[in-house]
Amino acid sequence: MPVTVAIVFLLITVGSVVFHFWSPWWWTEVASNWGGMDDTIILTFWITGFVFVVICLFVSYCVWKFAYRKDRRAEYKPEDNKLEKRLTWITTLGVAALLAPGLVVWNNYVTVPENAYKIEVFAYQWGWKYRLPGNDGVLGKTDIKYISDENPFGLILEDPKGKDDRLVDGDELHLLIDRPVKFELRTIDVLHNFYVPQFRGKMDMVPGIITYYWITPTKTGDFEVLCAEYCGSGHYAMRGRVIVDKEQDYKKWEAKQITFEKMLAKNKNIKNLQLAKSTK
């Protein structure tokens, strides 16, 4: 019986390793420049996988070697200082090997290139909006006290740099291929998380704070946006799309987006028409 248990445990160990390499979700489409993240994940798999295999093989050996027998008595050994020290050092080195590459990747993740194109991602329960810089290449300043139905992003009216900002009042964002992009993340209500799995990028969105990360899209395609932070009863439906375009397609989409100045003029015209109808 102990031999059977040891063999079954051994087969489970081998099967787990084989499934890991053959599983269809092992490689997913990469749409950014974060090869370092994948390398770190692979390193984590190798280290934790090695430990997993060693422990499982050791357990299988112990089940077979130290199976119960009437003529055998267990050795009483409550302490083993040498073993404890060795395990402590091995664990320390293993944890350091896991953490050190991650710190390097994180530093790259938050060190934004100077030529990065800034896009504001605006989250609310339960959807997404986006704001792009206008011809001046600069996003206008915002303040939460200015947020209203006529000014959903809270742009400061006195700031001239915000007049030409392009507003995307929807859950579909287009990006230009091979152009570094910095996502500046805002939320109007609760915690959210802007997550595009293929970009290897995600970041919490905290009320009152602008968080950020950057990526460089390197492959055209249609990718799903998810909220990776539970944000209420509609969390499951808080989805969107990021479409990476070539230059010609991107410019066509960009030209269709309304500027803040035009939106203000449009709202003013609507109010004047409503006022004129009410006075008749």
Domain residue extents for the chain: 2-66+82-110, 117-274
pTM of the predicted model as reported, rounded to 2 decimal places: 0.75
At residue 25, the pLDDT reads: 62
At residue 156, the pLDDT reads: 86
Q: What is the pLDDT along the chain (280 residues), one digit of tens a residue?
A: 667 878 887 888 888 888 877 776 656 666 566 777 778 888 888 888 888 888 888 888 888 887 777 777 777 777 888 888 988 998 898 888 888 888 888 888 888 888 899 999 999 999 999 999 988 888 888 888 888 878 888 888 888 888 888 999 888 999 999 899 999 999 999 999 999 988 888 899 999 899 999 988 888 889 999 999 999 999 999 999 999 999 999 999 998 888 888 888 776 665 555 555 566 5
What is the CATH architecture of 117-274?
Sandwich (2.60)
Among candidate residues 87, 114, 90, the one with its CA nearest the CA of residue 180: 114
